[in-house]
Structure 1
Amino acid sequence: MKTPSSPPGAKPADGPAIRIGALAPLTRPGWVEAGQHLLAGFELAAGMLNDTGGIGGRPLELLVRDTAADPQRAVAAIDELDRLGVAALVGEYHSVAARAAAARADALGLPFLCSSAVLDALTERPTNQVARLAPAQSHGWRIYADFLLGAGHGHIAVAAQPSVYWASGTGILREFFAPRRGTVTELDMASLTPAAMCDELAGLGATALLLLVGFPEPAVSIVGAVRRDPRLTGMLIGAPAGQPEFAEWAGLLGEDGAAIPFLRYLPEHLGQFGARIEILLRERLAEAPSFVAFEGYDTIAVLAAALRAHGTERARIAESWPSLAVEGTRGEIRFSRVPDIGIWQWAWPPVQVVDRDPAKPERFRILHGGWK
């Protein structure tokens, strides 16, 4: 089912609103800049939709709730949104909050279109209620590991904090490197200061250090410590979770934040539609939109397609995921079942490994990828 384009001269929607619950991290310890970009994508898509007639003359109303990356707060928000009669849920950036949200949505029979969280096991059991736009962590991080190995980094260290997300990432890296005679050494940042971590790293023989930690701290302090330690000259710092994508990274680290490869989910070149949306997102954000802003826009575009075709009944929305084919900003979006992924999954968004150019940190260099 292709998404129809809005008819020319369509009137703004003015019927009873269709309520949609929108989850995003908008306060600390959540990654606020990611939440703001996600929300900008939601709001742009919903505004454009409402300006051209909405869904059968009914506007979308976004009921935004701040998760602050807190699973319990996400669940409480969903319970409130359920009482308010939302037709569906969208959003969330942090995997730990999204996993709690997915479980609660499944229990309530509430369709949830997850925008940005990548944890493979987003639900403990297979469900038809949940679909996801972001690639599964195992898919993206294997591409990242392939980049590291191709660049000659067979022995890597990971500076990791305790988290199901970071533990999952470490496991994916170990599985990739082990059969290729590579090694992954974990440095526990729950017990190490950045200086102590540098002491351990200096004796490992690793050529790359990956940041599997929160932002801004301890990520910023770790980068500063490594950059200034003469024993670690030439050490590649990597951030597969995408911390350097956002302007705050460059603002806090300056030149130290360049040449740190990370994952982002954009094609090498946006098509005509994606380029038009990029301009509008840039105007709304007053800065370059991250891939998360595109995920936000695509989320509402997909949900609008489901609502047009199947109405606002929750069960029918959830049933629609496998039948959708939607023009997104980064390609056509279709959902399927992927082995070991218990939800409906877009397989796959484009994936790149990029970094900030040391000569011009506001510019990104594509190092590896553009894969589907």
Structure 2
Amino acid sequence: MSTSPMPPGAEERAEGSSVRIGALLPLSRPGWVEAGRHLLAGLELAVREVNAAGGIGGGALELVVRDTAADPQRAGAAVEELARLGVAALAGEYHSVVARTAAARADALGLPFLCSSAVLDALTEQPTDRVARLAPAQSHGWQVYADFLLGAGHRRIAVAAASSVYWASGTGILRDRLAGHGGAVVELDADALTPAALCEALVDSRATALLLLVGHPEPAVSIVTAVRRDRRLAGVMLGAPAGQPEFAEWAALLGDDGAGVPFLRYLPERLGPLGTRVEAALRERLGGAPSFVAFEGYDTVAVLAAMLRSQGPELGRTAESWPRVDVEGTRGRIRFSRTPGISVWQWAWAPVQVVDRDPAAPDRFRVLHVG
């Protein structure tokens, strides 16, 4: 377990003074900007509500935002800057490889980090008390996705995968799950193949489904367009377990071609009273339907505010309080535990769905499978 000293700037706070939370978000390319925007909307809404209810110890809760742009080095530098500014905790991040760097720096500096959205199992190399996570681990969510594929009759799956530890991890999870049921995964190098060449390889693979383990909007949009235009591949299902079709930009760029592409979404079948209220507020804030990422942002601040109210903003005490968290979130009751194979405190689990955009009405989502 980490026993690192407090970071610079973590001095004692006076009663009634503001408490700051550092927020890490992909707000510029090559990051998934729409995901960052939704995550920020959830964080900001929750901060506003915390302050309307009296803040933390009589002081305001403040969000100090830093754009990671999906760059691990930039995220590491942001963590060090936020530690110097004396934030009580870190929150956010969507991209797993970026969150992994942020978690390592936060742990080394003794700064608590509640990761909102990143799912990579190995978020830290060693077990730590400093870091916790709301999103389901990749091994959990992607096994649910593999079970959906098997239930839909797919046994031979192709993956168009870019080079990344995240995509490689996902491919391994799918391969292991499918192999246990007589299935197989064929890997297609999305970094080396043009969309046209990828279509040729897909025909040769005899796969019944192609999963897009690539960035958004490109090359995902170009691959979808090429596959949809190739008559030889009319029977091939397209899938995107990482959630690219969740966002409005996907529908705007692809139209009808973007429908019928199943993806993972971390929402319950029905929202409770809190989730329903937050959904309405987020819809107004975003000017459209909120993604599951916006709910993750709201829940992140709800958890950190509860911890800060009960434990105070002292960094060490906050880091040790994960196992005592019991908070009503927008998607269920949030409690953290030690989960086998996961090195951080984990909410096990947020609800998991496999969803697609309805081909008959691409602005409407269909729930295809629940994990």
Measured against the shorter chain, the TM-score band is: over 0.9
Report the AA paired with residue 80 of structure 1. Answer: E
Q: Offset of 1:246 from its aligned partner?
A: 0.4
| 3-state SS, counterpart of residue 238 of structure 2 | strand
Deviations 1:245-281 (A, max 9, x none): 0000000000000000000000000001110000000
Within 5 A, what are the aligned runs for 1:286-301?
A: 286-301=287-302
Q: Offset of 1:142 from its aligned partner?
A: 0.2
Residue 352 (1) aligns with residue 323 (2): no
Identify the residue that residue 334 of structure 1 maps to in structure 2: 335
Identify the residue that residue 243 of structure 2 maps to in structure 1: 242
Identify the residue that residue 5 of structure 2 maps to in structure 1: none
Report the AA paired with residue 318 of structure 1. Answer: A
Identify the residue that residue 158 of structure 2 maps to in structure 1: 157
Deviations 1:16-43 (A, max 9, x none): 2101100000000000000000000000
Deviations 1:337-359 (A, max 9, x none): 00010000000000000000011
Q: Offset of 1:15 from its aligned partner?
A: 3.6
Identify the residue that residue 263 of structure 2 maps to in structure 1: 262
Report the AA paired with residue 254 of structure 1. Answer: G
TM-score normalized with structure 2 length:
0.96
Q: Could you list the runs of 5+ residues in structure 2 that have no partner in the other structure?
A: 1-14
| 3-state SS, counterpart of residue 203 of structure 1 | helix
Report the AA paired with residue 290 of structure 1. Answer: S
Residue 17 (1) aligns with residue 10 (2): no
Identify the residue that residue 34 of structure 2 maps to in structure 1: 33
Identify the residue that residue 190 of structure 1 maps to in structure 2: 191
Identify the residue that residue 314 of structure 2 maps to in structure 1: 313
Within 5 A, what are the aligned runs for 1:126-205?
A: 126-205=127-206
Identify the residue that residue 92 of structure 1 maps to in structure 2: 93
Identify the residue that residue 233 of structure 2 maps to in structure 1: 232
Report the AA paired with residue 297 of structure 2. Answer: G
Residue 75 (1) aligns with residue 76 (2): yes
Identify the residue that residue 3 of structure 2 maps to in structure 1: none
Question: Pairwise CA RMSD of aligned residues?
Answer: 0.8
Report the AA paired with residue 45 of structure 1. Answer: A
Within 5 A, what are the aligned runs for 1:41-120?
A: 41-120=42-121
Deviations 1:92-149 (A, max 9, x none): 0000100000000000000000000000000000000000000000000000000000
Separation (CA, whole Å) in 1 of partners of 2:274 and 2:130: 29
Aligned residues: 357
Report the AA paired with residue 261 of structure 1. Answer: P
Paired-residue identity, %:
74
Identify the residue that residue 215 of structure 1 maps to in structure 2: 216
TM-score normalized with structure 1 length:
0.95
Report the AA paired with residue 313 of structure 1. Answer: E
Separation (CA, whole Å) in 1 of partners of 2:248 and 2:87: 33
Report the AA paired with residue 121 of structure 1. Answer: A
| 3-state SS, counterpart of residue 180 of structure 2 | helix
Deviations 1:295-320 (A, max 9, x none): 00000000001001100011111100
Separation (CA, whole Å) in 1 of partners of 2:288 and 2:301: 21
Report the AA paired with residue 41 of structure 1. Answer: G
Deviations 1:141-164 (A, max 9, x none): 000000000000000000000000
Q: Offset of 1:240 from its aligned partner?
A: 0.1
Separation (CA, whole Å) in 1 of partners of 2:247 and 2:190: 23
User: Deviating runs (4+, > 3 A) in structure 1?
Assistant: none
Report the AA paired with residue 332 of structure 1. Answer: R
Report the AA paired with residue 159 of structure 1. Answer: A
Residue 323 (1) aligns with residue 324 (2): yes
| 3-state SS, counterpart of residue 75 of structure 2 | helix
Separation (CA, whole Å) in 1 of partners of 2:214 and 2:50: 38
| 3-state SS, counterpart of residue 180 of structure 1 | coil
| 3-state SS, counterpart of residue 322 of structure 2 | helix
